[in-house]
């Protein structure tokens, strides 16, 4: 496995962002609640993910008066788990590696803030790193609160035949070491958030693991822990139990001791954005920075995605950062990412209500089937899945393709269009709407409408 310089994922800043430890923008909305005694909060992403998933969570914390210098998000260099935890695998990480990296990050947060303890919040696999750090990495005395959101604490399956050696197998050595003799480690206050039955990784049948009819040995309550406060969020999916407003409210209350003033997001008067271009060697997601990538930011017509003017352009250095960029909270933007050996990726976003230093970007992918189309538009929801029954998901005025009803299982929808002149395509997920322009797939372009919510 490639190994980054250890400092590269420990140090960062809101402006330059030299690595995995990123901080959010300045809080701009006061609340009567006294937050001076609340510890710094470190958010830990899940399998294959990035710190960028937490930017809307940061906005909610800031809206309720939490200061930017006490909000942090981890960017593990190799976010994907190994197929077997004990077997080295290129571009993937073990539970031991993530535990050691998290330990260094916590120490760095304590050094920066002067805090005696931190609160840790993890989505999915991020909870594995938190549990491992607290139990095996010396974290029990350094963590005030441990919040695990949709973490497969008893595996996605408990089996001696399937996913053998995986950290996601409830019968694995790793999860046994986390759950025996007790499921929580004394010291921190523990909470889990989980769905009632809509988490695709907490299902009694193996259908969503590609094994229909195979009992998993895991129930809907798989993420719950004995001895923890277990909060059920009805109807929410595997990601939403970390990123939805309801999840934010539960986490805020647990860590601060009071309900938030609001779960919405208050718009700031000014906007500064920054983030990294992260590498995708061979299509494998990493959080290693890309040097020499060119990022252009275009202000667009929010109703059509048509370009109005270029407002920012930068070639990334060794740290991979494409900003900072000063923009407007009223404008819609297209981010054009050009990296060697990858499609030219046009990422369209609805307006940003607040600043963020963790708007990380990755180049998109085009399959052989995609390249046969005239153009390809992808609707991407990083902080949740789509449910054909629950959600309104539209692309070009029609129901988005490939979205099943029932348990939410997919976070992207792909629309392939025939050859023709460039035109507008409107995408919609419930109340959030993003308009994009089409680009020729045969020339290596792909359009992505990336949702905030």
CB atoms within 10 A of CB 79: 26
Q: What's the pLDDT tens digit per position in 200-218? A: 999 999 999 999 999 999 9
Give the strand pairing for 424-429 and 307-315: unpaired
Task: Give me the tens of pLDDT residue by residue for the chain, a chain 453 residues long.
Answer: 333 443 334 323 333 332 334 443 333 443 457 899 999 999 999 999 999 999 999 999 999 999 989 999 999 999 999 999 999 999 999 999 999 999 999 999 999 999 999 999 999 999 999 999 999 999 999 999 999 999 999 999 999 999 999 999 999 999 999 999 999 999 999 999 999 999 999 999 999 999 999 999 999 999 999 999 999 999 999 999 999 999 999 999 999 999 999 999 999 999 999 999 999 999 999 999 999 999 999 999 999 999 999 999 999 999 999 999 999 999 999 999 999 899 999 999 999 999 999 999 999 999 999 999 999 999 999 999 999 999 999 999 999 999 999 999 999 999 999 999 999 999 999 999 999 999 999 999 999 999 999
- Tokens for 197, please give them: 């039955």
Name the H helices within 40-164.
Answer: 55-63, 95-113, 125-136
The b-or-e profile of 256-271 (16+ CB within 10 A means b, else e) is beeebbebebeebeeb
Tell me the three-class secondary structure of 20-40, residue by residue: CCEECCCCCCCCCCCCCCCCC
pLDDT (tens digit, 9 = 90+) per residue, 327-380?
Answer: 999 999 999 999 989 999 999 999 999 999 999 999 999 999 999 999 999 999
Predicted confidence at residue 212, as pLDDT, reads 96
Q: Which two structure tokens, joined as six digits, stand for 216?
A: 């998993």
SS3 161: coil
All domains in the chain, ordered by first residue: 6-256 (3.40.50.1820), 271-450 (2.60.40.1120)
């Amino acid at each position: 496995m490639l190994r980054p310089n250890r400092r590269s994922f420990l140090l960062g800043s809101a402006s330059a962002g030299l690595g995995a430890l990123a901080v959010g923008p300045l809080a701009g909305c006061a609340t009567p609640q006294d937050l001076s005694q609340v510890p710094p909060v470190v958010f830990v992403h899940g399998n294959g993910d990035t710190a960028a998933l937490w930017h809307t969570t940061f906005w909610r914390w800031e809206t309720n008066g939490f200061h930017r210098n006490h909000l942090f998000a981890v960017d593990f260099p190799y976010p994907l788990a190994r197929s077997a935890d004990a077997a080295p695998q290129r571009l993937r990480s073990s539970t031991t590696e993530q535990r050691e990296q998290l330990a260094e990050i916590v120490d760095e947060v304590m050094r920066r803030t002067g805090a005696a303890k931190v609160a840790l919040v993890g989505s999915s696999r991020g909870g594995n790193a938190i549990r491992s750090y607290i139990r095996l990495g010396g974290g029990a005395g350094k963590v005030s609160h441990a919040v695990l959101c949709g973490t497969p604490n008893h595996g996605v399956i408990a089996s001696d035949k399937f996913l053998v050696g995986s950290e996601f197998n409830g019968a694995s050595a790793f999860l046994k070491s986390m759950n025996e003799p007790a499921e929580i480690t004394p010291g921190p206050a523990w909470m889990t958030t989980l769905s009632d039955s809509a988490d695709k990784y907490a299902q009694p049948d193996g259908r969503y693991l590609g094994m229909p009819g195979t009992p998993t040995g895991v129930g809907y309550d798989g993420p719950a822990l004995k001895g923890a406060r277990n909060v059920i969020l009805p109807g929410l999916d595997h990601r939403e139990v970390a990123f939805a407003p309801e999840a934010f409210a539960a986490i805020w209350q647990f860590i601060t001791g009071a309900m938030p003033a609001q779960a919405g997001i208050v718009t700031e008067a000014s906007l500064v954005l920054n983030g990294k271009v992260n590498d995708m060697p061979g299509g494998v997601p990493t959080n290693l920075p890309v040097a020499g990538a060119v990022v252009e930011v275009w202000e667009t017509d929010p109703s059509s995605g048509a370009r109005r003017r270029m407002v920012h352009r930068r070639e990334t250095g060794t740290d991979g950062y494409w900003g900072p960029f000063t923009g407007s909270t009223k404008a819609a933007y297209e981010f054009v990412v050009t990296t060697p050996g990858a499609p030219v990726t046009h990422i369209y976003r609805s307006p940003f209500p607040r600043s963020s230093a963790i708007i990380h970007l990755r180049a998109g992918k085009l399959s052989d089937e995609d390249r046969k189309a005239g153009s390809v538009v992808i609707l991407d929801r990083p902080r949740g899945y789509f449910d054909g029954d629950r959600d309104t998901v539209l692309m070009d005025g029609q129901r988005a393709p490939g979205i099943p009803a029932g348990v939410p299982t997919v976070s992207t929808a792909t629309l392939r269009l025939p050859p023709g002149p460039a035109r507008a395509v409107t995408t919609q997920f419930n109340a959030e709407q993003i308009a994009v322009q089409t680009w020729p797939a045969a020339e290596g372009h792909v359009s992505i409408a990336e949702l905030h919510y």
